[in-house]
Amino acid sequence: MKFLVSMIACVLLLLPLTPVSADHHHVVDQKAVLITGATTGIGRASAERLAAEGYFVYAGARKDADMEELNQIDNIMAVRLDVTDQNQIDAAVTLIEKQGRGLWGLVNNAGVNIVAPLIEAKESDFEFLFDVNVFGVFRVTKAFAPMIIESNGRIVNISSISGVLAGGGYGMYAASKHALEAMTDALASELEEFGVHVSAVNPGNFGSEIGLTRCKRLLKNADADDWGLFEERRQGMISGCEKRLDAGVEEEGTPPDAVALAIEQALFEENPRDRYLVVPEQLEAGWTISKAIDEMLALNIGHEHSYTRDELVQLIDAMWPYFSGEKSWDDPDEETEMRAFMQSWMRKGVPEED
């Protein structure tokens, strides 16, 4: 018995001296990110950028050919992941857990776009769009939240300028992105206490296959569908889609490199923002920001609790330093100062009742 104890003691003393392989250290130290819908467009550009920067990317894909192609890229491992399939999501969790890297970041990028006037839209199309763009984000985030919480990591939801805007024909898509905006805000509030930061990235009209996929769906049903009062508009879209498909995605718009950069910032910069608006031209920024201001003013006018113009400007001036980086919510004194101002501003200087 004493001999056995002595042998165990010798083994324990020797364990710290056993060298740990460099590969093991690399796996543990290399921050890993899962990107859904990583085969084309924003997802593919982000996967390639992060991999080139030395991060490890689990790239969500649905087709064998796409997975094989992604696996040829250094620092990328393809993961079969249809965000509408809970079994595939669960399998992806198990696979990533077994890899031993943990998971620092989750980028909810997978999405679809279907266009139709709301009074002519099919309920099945509405359901499909929400199944991917909203419930897909819900399923994946819920499944991977424990890993993200364990690493005090980041979640980035790929929204859109359509999370603010809602033009004719884009009601279904905009509704899904408005829902994602609300989910992002709620999730950010819920996970803050666990050291997890949640951001939304709001891209404009960059080159992406989401538009081409939408066109293919429209052309496939060109003879079967009818938009009634809006049929002339549908025929115009069909003509435009035929031209887009002939040109291909390379001719469709600005490559989404700037969006990939914003995603990297949201994942890894020291003080990530809550939202990253990324548009290829000034006009799109103007559309989005003016719409946000329009909604603010519309909410403010015509009731007994509205604020004056000067009071609105006072609020903007107080918040500006925090959004410009001159002040930080991470500074306890500055946070206390801002919270006190907000309480006073919201009540118009009227003290809170005991």
Residue 94 has pLDDT above 70, yes or no: yes
In angstroms, the CA 266 to CA 279 distance is 16
What kind and span of H or E run contains 61? Answer: strand 56-61
In a domain, 115, yes or no: yes
> How many domains are there within the chain?
1
More confident residue, 211 or 41: 41
Confidence of residue 318 (pLDDT cuts 50, 70, 90): very high
Give pTM, 2 decimals.
0.85
Token pair of 74 as six digits: 């250094």
Residue-wise pLDDT tens digits, 132-173: 999 999 999 999 999 999 999 999 999 999 999 999 999 999
**Range with the poorest average pLDDT among 16-20, 52-56, 247-251, 271-275:** 16-20
In a domain, 226, yes or no: no
Residue 2, Cβ density class (10 Å: 0-12 exposed, 13-18 middle, ≥19 buried): exposed
pLDDT at position 8: 35
**Nearest alpha carbon to residue 129 among 168, 174, 90, 62:** 174
In a domain, 40, yes or no: yes
In a domain, 78, yes or no: yes
CATH code where residue 176 lies: 3.40.50.720
In a domain, 194, yes or no: yes
In a domain, 174, yes or no: yes
The percent helix, strand, coil of the chain (3-state, each to 5) is 60, 10, 30
In a domain, 56, yes or no: yes
Residue-wise pLDDT tens digits, 246-257: 776 555 678 999
**Nearest alpha carbon to residue 103 among 204, 33, 56:** 33
Q: By residue range, what is the domain housing residue 110? A: 22-208+252-281
Degrees to nearest 5, angle at CA 34 with 33 and 38: 120
Residue-wise pLDDT tens digits, 212-262: 677 777 777 766 677 787 777 777 777 777 777 777 655 567 899 999 999
Q: What strand order describes the sheet that includes 56-61? A: 76-80, 56-61, 32-35, 105-108, 154-158, 197-203, 275-278
In a domain, 349, yes or no: no
Q: Which residues are catalytic?
A: 173
Kindly give, in sequence order, each residue whose CB lies less than 8 Å from that of residue 311, ignoring residues fewer than 6 positions away. 345, 348
